[in-house]
């Protein structure tokens, strides 16, 4: 789409012919892949500072489908028919800092092992979070960030 912005002030408005066109590609939220639903860590929807213990942390979620349009899906509902529109990128954060990024996840789960947690940062008092982003080509939908939890 080509646009021309016409500056205006109390003296007048610039003429259309005096302004160079700029090219933009419009994008809307409606085109973005739907964020996952029913996101849980080791079966808990809201770990909220909980300590999982010295165990692996399993992130699970359910697919949502943007193409359903106006259909309302309950947050804790199962997978939406039709599957994902692309894949997911999962990030592991320790104390709010991204430590790992795993793109191209096509399933509905991701495991962060306790051994990996210790290797990433031996200070087990720091919290861990997951961020999961739906991706469809160049489009990235709304990310879901889990509550912080401890693995100790």
- Cβ atoms of 136 and 27 closer than 8 Å: no
* Domain-wise residue ranges, the chain: 31-145
With CA atoms as reference, report the closest residue to 31 among 143, 144, 142.
142
Count of C-beta atoms within a 10 Å radius of residue 35: 17
pLDDT band, residue 125 (cuts 50/70/90): very high
Q: Classify domain 31-145 by CATH number.
A: 2.60.40.10
SS3 88: strand
pLDDT number for residue 26: 67
> Averaged over 16-38, what is the pLDDT?
83
The yes-or-no verdict on residue 69 having pLDDT over 80 is no
With CA atoms as reference, report the closest residue to 88 among 77, 100, 70, 102.
102
What is the pTM (predicted TM-score) of this model? 0.77
């Amino acid at each position: 789409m080509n646009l021309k912005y016409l500056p205006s002030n109390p003296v007048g408005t610039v003429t259309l012919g005096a302004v160079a066109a700029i090219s933009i590609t419009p994008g809307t939220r409606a085109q973005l892949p739907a964020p996952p639903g029913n996101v849980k860590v080791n079966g808990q929807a809201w770990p909220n500072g909980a300590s999982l213990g010295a165990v692996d942390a399993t992130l699970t979620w359910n697919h949502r489908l943007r193409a359903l349009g106006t259909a309302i899906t309950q947050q804790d509902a199962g997978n939406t028919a039709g599957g994902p529109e692309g894949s997911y990128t999962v990030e592991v954060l320790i104390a709010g800092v991204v430590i790992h990024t795993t793109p191209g996840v096509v399933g509905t789960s991701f495991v962060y092992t306790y051994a990996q947690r210790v290797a990433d940062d031996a200070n087990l008092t720091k919290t861990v979070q997951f961020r999961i982003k739906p991706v469809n080509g160049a489009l990235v939908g709304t990310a879901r960030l889990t509550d912080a939890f401890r693995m100790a």
